Amino acid sequence: NAGVTQTPKFRVLKTGQSMTLLCAQDMNHEYMYWYRQDPGMGLRLIHYSVGEGTTAKGEVPDGYNVSRLKKQNFLLGLESAAPSQTSVYFCASSRGRDYEQYFGPGTRLTVT
Amino acid sequence: GDSVTQMEGPVTLSEEAFLTINCTYTATGYPSLFWYVQYPGEGLQLLLKATKADDKGSNKGFEATYRKETTSFHLEKGSVQVSDSAVYFCALRSTDYKLSFGAGTTVTVRA
């Protein structure tokens, strides 16, 4: 039981490049979330999903897209990376909206 | 909107010292309150929680009491260990079930 895993762990992009971050969970959770963590600001919700095939915007969705084609996977895409997207990205999953969220180890992204 | 404010760090302590991290919140309704811990190189883990006023959450020697009158949820531990070195986040879950996090407090415990 691996819990929540994220791929890759580190990535450096040039401005304008695109990439996809993969989150996978093996707990059969319905809900999945993407957060970004910036110094002095805590975690902020980017997008979330309440089930396979669904997505919804969080607090800071601009510049990101997501997809949940399979229940166990939640992908976060950056179509045209900007330096303001330099951050640590965390994925999380939960059984439902009022259950504990389990977090992955994070992806550190630097955009130059 | 709902928000959480926690004391800024970093905090550096000696082993067996007493730790307090202050957390206050602003929310409509009656949120649930949480403390998460992030060890170096890892994701966040739930440390403890409280779902209503006067509830006390506790785990691994840490405690926090939900104080509605002061809108606070301060984290305390009576005797810290080197292994408690981590970043601690206070969070609340609003009535719309979304989590709002504080900025995090980095705690370093020296032997």
CB A53 within 8 A of CB A69: yes
How distant is the alpha carbon of residue B73 from its chain centre?
A: 7
Q: Do B43 and A90 touch (CB under 8 A)?
A: yes
CB B99 within 8 A of CB B93: yes
Structural element, H or E, at residue B13: strand B11-14
Structure-token match 């928000």, residue found? B3
Nearest to B21 by CA among B32, B5, B33: B5
Q: Do B89 and A41 touch (CB under 8 A)?
A: no
Any A CB within 8 A of B43 CB? yes
B59-90 pLDDT per residue, tens? 999 999 999 999 999 999 999 999 999 999 99
Query: Quick check: A1 pLDDT over 80?
Result: no
Q: Which residues from B are below 8 Å from A5, CB to CB?
A: none
B13-49 pLDDT per residue, tens? 999 999 999 999 999 888 999 999 999 888 899 999 9
| Cβ-based neighbour number of residue A64 at 10 Å | 19
Residue to mutate among B32, B44, B45, with most A CBs inside 10 A, is: B44
| Cβ-based neighbour number of residue B39 at 10 Å | 13
Q: Do B43 and A58 touch (CB under 8 A)?
A: no
Which residues 73-102 of B have a C-beta within 8 angstroms of A?
A: 89, 91, 93, 97-102
CB A107 within 8 A of CB A11: yes
Structure-token match 């415990």, residue found? B109
- Strands B11-14 and B105-110: what pairing? parallel
Any A CB within 8 A of B29 CB? no
CA distance B72 to chain A (A): 18
- pLDDT at residue number A97: 86
A37-90 pLDDT per residue, tens? 998 888 999 999 999 999 999 999 999 999 999 999 999 999 999 999 999 999
Tokens representing B110 are 């020296």
Q: Do A45 and B99 touch (CB under 8 A)?
A: yes
Closest chain A residue to B35 measured between Cα atoms?
A: A100
Q: What percent of chain B has pLDDT above 90?
A: 84
